[in-house]
Amino acid sequence: NKSVLTAYNMLTRETAFLLTCVPVNVESHSFLTETLKIMFYLLLFIVTVVECQLNFKVEQRLDELNLQCQVSGTNILNNINIGKLVISKHSGRFLEALATVSVHHSHNEPVSALSNAYVTGHVSQNTSVTPNLRIQWTNIDDGLNGNYTCQAYDVNNNLISSKQAYIKVIPTGPRFVATPSVIHVGLTKRLDISCSVPDPVSLNVSKVGSIEIFKIQNGCQCLFARIRSTSGEAFTTGRIGANVSGSIDRNNGDFVISWNNPTSDLAGEYICEVSVIGNQGNPVFFTKGINITWETPDQELLIRRLSEMTKRHEKLTEVEQEEEHLLEEAVQILNTTEKSQCRNPTSCDDVYFSLSPGQHIVRVEPEDGLGPITVL
């Protein structure tokens, strides 16, 4: 193949040089033979490693973002040793696996931990297939910003190579997100839909005019809520049972609709429309959509949520016990202080009974010789 041929051609040139410089006898012939063997394998290794590369790149086209990891180079190593590709995102000191494709997976299909992205990829022992893994987002926001890593493993799960890439989303319109994007009926306590203008400079915006949020119902675009720069107040249309908040300040604007204990009827397609004035004084309109889905919690999710609640309850119980202990210590200190500061009381002045209700600073001289003191 190509690598062997390249090494052979380099070796041929070096052999001709050695034959002209080394005297031919039994010892030198043996030495020459061993030298040529070492050179052959060394050249073969160098050529193979140089040509075997892990490519990891980011590409954004308007509202579409692609993150692709691909092994390129010779077939000597790629299709024999590559057993798994993993794309992860850096989260603090840890790596959070987003997508994986492995020869051990059923039908070599990739496994994804993302609900808002499309994942494709393939790893196979077939030498005609290039190992690759790709994540595609079609509704992007600055929440995707960060460092990502692609790792290549052999069939024995040994790390062969890794490469990093950084994502910086270029704004193409308003930032429109739903938190969460999936409503787990009965478990989700709050749903927020937020639309904002995050980077007016990149969008060439000089002034924000209005932000409107619609929902597609029965094929029609129905206005849910609106905020305008003229009034500066957010309001809703109809009885949607939501809280709205937001503000528009010159070239910045944000708008949020919130529901407590959301139900399945809130799922669907939402659209945010933002009207602005461009840097040239021209009117510009941005439109962005999101889709919210719902599902009934499965047994695994319920068990996980129950475990989280149990841990939270244990933590709260521990905090309450600690607070009760601190309160008991404080009461003991107060009791001790009260007994030691007022020894052998005899009488009180009538003036104390003529004070009006409220707080007063009073200077007193106790008969036990501890005064004068000022009290509240």
- Number of H-type helices and E-type strands within the chain: 4, 21
Co-location of 220 and 268 in the same domain? yes
The kind and range of the H/E element at 174 are none
* 366 found inside a domain: no
Asked whether residue 221 is domain-assigned, the answer is yes
- Shared domain check, 235 and 255: yes
- Quote the CA–CA distance of 346 and 353 in Å, as a whole number: 16
Task: Quote the tokens at residue 205.
Answer: 């915006």
User: Residue 218: what are its φ and ψ, rounded to 5°?
Assistant: 55, 40
Q: Are strands 190-197 and 182-184 parallel, antiparallel or unpaired?
A: unpaired
pLDDT at 6: 47
Q: Output the pLDDT for position 50.
A: 43
| 214 and 181 within one domain | yes
Dist CA 44 CA 76 (whole Å): 10
Based on the fold, state whether residues 91 and 14 are members of the same structural domain: no
Q: DSSP state, 173?
A: S
- What is the pLDDT, as a whole number, of residue 308? 80
Q: Is residue 102 part of a domain?
A: yes
Does residue 288 share a domain with residue 197? yes
> What is the domain extent for residue 157?
53-167
Q: What is the tens place of the pLDDT at every residue in 314-337?
A: 888 888 888 888 888 777 776 665
The CA–CA distances, whole Å, from 327 to 78, 318, 333, 334 equal: 67, 14, 10, 11
pLDDT per residue over 221-271, tens digit each? 888 888 888 776 777 776 567 888 888 887 788 899 999 999 999 999 999
One domain, residues 122 and 211:
no
For the chain, what is the domain count? 3
255, 272, 295 - which closes a domain: 295
**Single residue among 10, 27, 51 that ends a domain in this structure:** 51
Residues 151 and 210 in one domain: no
Per this entry, what is the length of the chain? 376
| Final residue in a domain of this structure, among 141, 167, 193 | 167
* Cβ-based neighbours of 152, under 8 Å, separated by 6 or more: 54, 69, 71, 82, 84, 85, 131, 159, 160, 161, 162
So what's the pLDDT on residue 302? 78
Based on the fold, state whether residues 32 and 68 are members of the same structural domain. Answer: no
**Same domain for 142 and 182:** no
Could you report the average pLDDT of every consecutive run of 10 residues in the chain (376 residues)? 48 46 51 64 49 82 88 56 90 89 81 88 79 89 89 90 91 86 87 87 84 90 86 70 84 87 91 89 88 84 79 85 83 64 52 66 73 75
What confidence score (pLDDT) does residue 371 get? 66
Is 302 a member of any domain? no
pLDDT at 16: 44
* Residue 24 pLDDT: 47
Residue 295, Cα to own-chain centre: how many angstroms?
22
Q: Is 11 part of a structural domain of the chain?
A: yes
Select from 252, 175, 265 the least CA-distant residue to 206.
252
Whether 21 and 93 share a structural domain = no
pLDDT of residue 37: 66
Q: Is residue 315 part of a domain?
A: no
Is 31 found in the same domain as 71?
no
With respect to residue 88, please indicate whether it lies within any of the assigned structural domains. yes
Q: Would you call 168 exposed, middle or buried from its count of C-beta atoms within 10 A (0-12, 13-18, 19+)?
A: exposed
- The reported pLDDT for the residue numbered 267 is 92
Q: Are residues 180 and 286 in the same domain?
A: yes
In the chain, alpha helices (H): 2-21, 26-51, 75-81, 299-341
Asked, for residue 136, whether it belongs to a domain, the answer is yes
What CATH number corresponds to the domain at position 273?
A: 2.60.40.10
Please state the separation of Cα 360 from the chain's center in Å: 56
Return the structure tokens found at 150.
């692609």
